[in-house]
Amino acid sequence: MSSLTIFFALLFYLATALLVSGLAYKIYIYSRTPAPLKIPTMPAPTTTTGVVMRMGREVVLFESLFKSNKWIWIFGWMFHFGLLLVLLRHLRYFTEPVWGWVVLIQPFGKYAAFAMIAGLLGLWARRFLVDRVRYISTPSDHLMLALLVGIGLTGMAMSFVVHTNIVGLKEFMLGLMVFDWQPLPADPILLAHLSLVALLMIIFPISKLLHAPGIFFSPTRNQADNSRDTRHVASWAARLEK
């Protein structure tokens, strides 16, 4: 077994452990953070069902972003929807036999990479062209966007420019899942792509990308506007009253 295979196998085990444990810890912190005030963003639903529907529209359609800025909404939705199709397409590397619906979306996921990159470039351009956004942008914001663009471009290069050994790649990924390591193809573009993906997995729990799980714990989104009907008491305050 080559040192390259050993290195990337250990790298992905480490990246997966950090991603899962880091996300679990952050979600635990979010769930334990008190919300002492009733602060839903108005207009807000008054029932739990309404909150669920509002959250669904926010996650799927980016409703608040659509209302605030149509251009940012277009680029943001292009990126996230393209990313979703690309990720679903990658399920073929982790399943055998490949699920039928994953086979059906392969061509859509392949070309969704263009929408993903276009959305990223639009969001990145915003950080240079809009004065107030440029003022608050930090090096980490640009580096994160560069990382995502790098992952997208290297992935597209393997699909449209220099094809890699996807059979060997799938054997490697399936082997990782059952601790039966298989040789990893020594394709430079593939190695660059996997390195960037592993880096993203490692830094995800400490990056601004945590808005993905964080939106579900935002009191401005997950609270109902029922302060006139029900008294809101934070969990820590309720313990003090007893």
End-to-end Cα spacing for the chain: 63
The pair of three-digit structure tokens given for residue 151, joined into one six-digit string: 């992952």
159 found inside a domain: yes
174 found inside a domain: yes
HSE-CB of 228 using CA atoms within 13 angstroms: 2
pLDDT tens digits, one per residue of 117-135: 999 999 999 999 999 999 9
Q: What is the CATH number of the domain that holds 78?
A: 1.20.950.20
42 found inside a domain: no
146 found inside a domain: yes
60 found inside a domain: no
Place of tokens 């108005």: 42
SS3 at position 169: helix
Q: Which domain holds residue 213?
A: 3-32+67-218
Give the number of other Cβ atoms within 10 Å of residue 124's Cβ.
19
Burial per residue of 222-237, b for 16 or more beta-carbon CB atoms within 10 angstroms, e otherwise = bbbbbeeeeeeeeeee
pLDDT tens digits, one per residue of 210-235: 999 999 999 899 988 887 777 777 66
97 found inside a domain: yes
* Cβ pair 137, 107 in contact under 8 A: no
d(CA 182, CA 176): 8
84 found inside a domain: yes
The domain tally of the chain equals: 1
* Cβ pair 162, 215 in contact under 8 A: no
229 found inside a domain: no
pLDDT in tens, the chain (242 residues): 789 999 999 999 999 999 999 999 999 999 988 888 888 888 889 898 999 999 999 999 999 999 999 999 999 999 999 999 999 999 999 999 999 999 999 999 999 999 999 999 999 999 999 999 999 999 999 999 999 999 999 999 999 999 899 999 999 999 999 999 999 999 999 999 999 999 999 999 999 999 999 999 998 999 888 877 777 776 666 665 55
